């Protein structure tokens, strides 16, 4: 194994653990000395990773997030319920996308991660400033939803399915 391969595996090993990973444990796992691990950590940091050293080991300081694209359909009146269903379960509605037959894919950034932001969005729509993109595609649209885990995304998917918003592939 090359040093680069080992360092990549060290990053993955630290990333997968919720608790600190000790340098001694890494040294045993990769069959190198503790000093080699210390040098690897320095090189990993130099490559831009935010590795935190604690008295119990190393942690990777990075936000943990996953995302999934959901195809949905609902009326204007159900928009608030759809957004609340997502944010109440810990999701962020990153965007809205539609596939228009003439104009192609159209996308708008939303970044709605709370009921307040959802309400502000709904109020803007109701005030007549604009109309939802979904209205040009018979209410069909896509949302990229960001969350802290696949489990959260699964709960969001289940909630959208239960409410009848989720469009499933035929």
Q: Where are the domains of the chain?
A: 3-60, 66-162
Greater model confidence, 28 or 137: 28
Q: Parallel, antiparallel, or unpaired for β 104-112 and 57-60?
A: unpaired
pLDDT in tens, 9-46: 999 999 888 789 999 999 999 999 999 999 999 999 99
Question: Is residue 118 within 8 Å of residue 125, measured between CB atoms?
Answer: no
Q: Which residues pair with 166 in a beta bridge?
A: 72
Question: Is residue 1 within 8 Å of residue 30, measured between CB atoms?
Answer: yes
pTM: 0.65
> From 1.20.1640.10, 3.40.190.10, 1.10.10.10, 3.40.50.720, which CATH number describes the 3-60 domain?
1.10.10.10
Mean pLDDT of the chain: 92
Return the CATH fold of 66-162: 3.30.1340
| Phi, psi (deg, nearest 5) at residue 50 | -95, 85
Q: Which residues pair with 123 in a beta bridge?
A: none
Tokens 């119990």 belong to residue: 56
- For position 38, what pLDDT does the model report? 96
């Amino acid at each position: 194994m090359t040093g680069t391969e080992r360092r990549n595996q060290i990053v993955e090993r630290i990333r997968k653990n919720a608790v600190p990973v000790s340098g001694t444990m890494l040294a045993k796992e990769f069959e190198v000395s503790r000093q080699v691990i210390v040098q690897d950590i320095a090189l990993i940091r130099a490559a831009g990773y935010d590795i935190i050293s604690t008295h119990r080991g190393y942690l990777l300081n990075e936000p943990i997030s996953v995302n999934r694209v959901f195809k949905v359909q609902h009326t204007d009146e159900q928009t608030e319920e759809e957004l609340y269903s997502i944010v109440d379960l810990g999701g962020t509605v990153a965007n809205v996308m539609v596939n228009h037959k003439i104009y192609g894919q159209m996308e708008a950034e939303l970044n709605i991660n709370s009921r307040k932001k959802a309400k502000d969005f709904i109020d803007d729509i109701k005030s007549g400033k604009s109309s939802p993109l979904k209205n040009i595609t018979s209410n069909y649209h896509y949302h990229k939803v960001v969350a802290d885990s696949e489990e959260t995304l699964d709960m969001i998917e289940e909630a959208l399915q239960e409410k009848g918003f989720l469009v499933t592939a035929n």
